[in-house]
């Protein structure tokens, strides 16, 4: 199973300091009885000299909210298009609900794609838009209407069935596009940055609705985004992609708390990256010099003299009056409402960001000094 990353050494060259048990994720309702919703086996897609997707093996469980996350150009949209059948793989096999669909054209695959652009027909009412897939399948007019109305009710749009797309807000149009996806009861709904065109507040509301709807209906969602916060909020599991490959496939909690590469640590959330050096070993435990003291790191194989990077999340750092933490001088304050984001300058000139909840206590002043305390357990070490 690719879902849960191991806690010790990864091919990416990272070693974790001892970790608490990893989050295993929410069990899917029928993951042991039904075939996977989507199974990619050795899938490669090349466009001329560009390898957009590179030997991808990926199993998406039935009923899960699965997200492909990554920077622009990492291959997430291409992977989605391969599942949809809009593109064909150069190599490899694609199965949907256990059936090999490699040779099946897009319109016959049991999937429906929702795009950022909604792709609604402007001259048709919302009801006709939603009923359209059923019209293509030649259902009776009464069936088309009943099922389209039921799908619109699912997204709280029953009252707007007679409007045209131009008479709806962006959020309402996206709900209509979702209703059109739901109406044909596909095994899998593919969503390509579906909330990308919405303003931030509406986007947050729609995230909530989307997640709630997916849980209620139990349909497999395969979601593409470059927004890591959206991915963490919505997903049962996330595939973090880079260069056409998955570099970590995990639950949101594991991806955030136990990133397996420096790339994952810096892509997901904010993190302080601290340059450090291996100074020796003691009975299999690595000794690493960082932030003014030597730390013992279990299982660290990198030889003495190697440069390593430590990653430390801002919310794991405590401002203290004394202690062993490095001393910092406050040089920046971002007031975020729920949180304070404090930037400290250390003696060596580097910066360290500290994040703490706004509990209504006095905000520290620029120029104040503090010891920046942290637990060694919260450090992640990366050897590359
Ligand atoms: P974005 O978030 O910008 O949409 P993405 O992660 O979805 O990025 P893809 O669209 O899958 O990335 O593209 C992956 C790589 O394949 C990129 O280098 C892209 O330029 C290339 N690519 C995608 N489609 C084509 C195409 N039709 N012809 C040539 N190259 C393509």
Please report the pLDDT score of residue 185 as a whole number: 83
User: CA 194, CA 175: separation in Å to the nearest integer?
Assistant: 10
User: Would you give the end-to-end CA distance of the chain in angstroms?
Assistant: 26
Please report the pLDDT score of residue 213 as a whole number: 84
Asked if pLDDT for residue 31 goes beyond 60, the answer is no
For the segment 94-112, what is each residue's pLDDT rounded down to a tens digit? Answer: 999 999 998 899 988 999 8
User: CA 16, CA 300: separation in Å to the nearest integer?
Assistant: 8
Ligand 1 centroid vs 85 CA: distance in angstroms? 16
CA 48 to ligand 1: nearest atom? 29
Please report the pLDDT score of residue 11 as a whole number: 37
Please report the pLDDT score of residue 330 as a whole number: 97
Average pLDDT on 203-224 reads 88
Q: Both tokens of residue 1?
A: 């199973």
Counting ligand 1 atoms within 8 A of each CB, the residue from 44, 48, 54, 77 with the most, and so the one to mutate, is: 77
Counting ligand 1 atoms within 8 A of each CB, the residue from 45, 78, 191 with the most, and so the one to mutate, is: 78
Residue 362's CB is within 10 A of a number of other CB atoms, namely: 5
Cβ atoms of 183 and 145 within 8 Å: the answer is no
Please report the pLDDT score of residue 283 as a whole number: 86
Q: Is the CB of 52 inside a 6 Å radius of any atom of ligand 1? A: yes
Q: Is the CB of 70 inside a 6 Å radius of any atom of ligand 1? A: yes
Ligand 1 centroid vs 382 CA: distance in angstroms? 29
For the segment 180-190, what is each residue's pLDDT rounded down to a tens digit? Answer: 888 888 889 99
Ligand 1 centroid vs 113 CA: distance in angstroms? 17
Ligand 1 centroid vs 53 CA: distance in angstroms? 9
User: CA 280, CA 331: separation in Å to the nearest integer?
Assistant: 35
Average pLDDT on 323-347 reads 94
CA 81 to ligand 1: nearest atom? 11
Q: What is the dihedral of CA 133, 218, 85, 149, to 10 degrees?
A: 10
- Given strand 237-242, what is the order of strands in its sheet? 111-115, 188-192, 220-225, 65-69, 237-242, 245-250
Please report the pLDDT score of residue 116 as a whole number: 76
Ligand 1 centroid vs 263 CA: distance in angstroms? 20
Asked if pLDDT for residue 21 goes beyond 50, the answer is no
Residue 132, SS3 per DSSP? helix
Mean of all residue pLDDT scores within the chain: 87
Q: Is the CB of 50 inside a 6 Å radius of any atom of ligand 1? A: yes
Ligand 1 centroid vs 66 CA: distance in angstroms? 20
Asked if pLDDT for residue 13 goes beyond 50, the answer is no
Q: Is the CB of 226 inside a 6 Å radius of any atom of ligand 1? A: yes
Q: Both tokens of residue 269?
A: 């959330």
Average pLDDT on 190-213 reads 84
Q: Characterize the bridge pairing of strands 38-47 and 50-60.
A: antiparallel
Asked if pLDDT for residue 20 goes beyond 70, the answer is no
Q: What is the pTM of this model?
A: 0.84
User: CA 118, CA 123: separation in Å to the nearest integer?
Assistant: 14
Asked if pLDDT for residue 28 goes beyond 80, the answer is no
Ligand 1 centroid vs 78 CA: distance in angstroms? 6
For the segment 285-311, what is each residue's pLDDT rounded down to a tens digit? Answer: 889 998 888 888 888 888 999 999 999
Ligand 1 centroid vs 3 CA: distance in angstroms? 25
């Amino acid at each position: 199973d690719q879902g849960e990353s191991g806690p010790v050494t990864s091919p990416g060259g990272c070693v974790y300091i001892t970790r608490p048990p990893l989050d295993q994720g929410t069990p899917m309702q029928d993951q042991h009885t039904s075939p996977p919703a989507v199974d990619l086996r050795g899938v490669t897609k090349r466009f001329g000299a560009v390898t957009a997707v590179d030997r991808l093996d990926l199993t998406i469980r039935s009923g899960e909210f699965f997200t492909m996350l990554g920077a622009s150009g990492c291959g997430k949209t291409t992977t989605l298009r391969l599942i949809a059948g809009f593109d064909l793989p150069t190599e490899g096999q694609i199965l949907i609900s256990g059936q090999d669909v490699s040779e099946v054209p897009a319109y016959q695959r049991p999937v429906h794609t929702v795009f950022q652009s909604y792709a609604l027909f402007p001259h048709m009412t919302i009801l006709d838009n939603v009923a359209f897939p059923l019209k293509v399948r030649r259902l009776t007019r009464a069936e088309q209407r009943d099922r389209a109305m039921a799908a619109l009710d699912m997204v709280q749009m029953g009252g707007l069935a007679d409007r045209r797309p131009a008479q709806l807000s962006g959020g309402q149009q996206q709900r209509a596009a979702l209703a059109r996806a739901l109406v044909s009861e596909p095994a899998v709904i593919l969503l390509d940055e579906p909330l990308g065109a919405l303003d931030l507040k509406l986007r947050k509301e729609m995230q909530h609705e989307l997640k709630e709807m997916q849980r209620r209906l139990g349909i497999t969602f395969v979601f593409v985004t470059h927004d890591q916060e959206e991915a963490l909020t919505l997903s049962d599991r996330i595939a973090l992609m880079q260069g056409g490959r998955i570099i970590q496939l995990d639950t949101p909690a594991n991806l955030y708390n136990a990133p397996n590469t420096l790339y994952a640590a810096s892509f997901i959330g904010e993190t302080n990256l601290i340059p450090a050096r291996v100074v020796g070993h003691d009975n299999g435990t690595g000794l690493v010099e960082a932030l003014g003291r030597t730390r013992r790191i279990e299982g660290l194989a990198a030889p003495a003299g190697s440069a390593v990077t430590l990653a430390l999340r801002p919310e794991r750092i405590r401002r203290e009056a004394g202690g062993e933490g490095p001393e910092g001088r406050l040089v920046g304050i971002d007031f975020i409402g729920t949180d304070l984001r404090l930037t400290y300058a250390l003696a060596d000139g580097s910066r360290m960001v500290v994040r703490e909840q706004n509990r209504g206590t006095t905000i520290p002043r620029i120029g104040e000094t503090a010891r920046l305390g942290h637990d060694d357990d919260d450090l992640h070490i990366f050897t590359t």
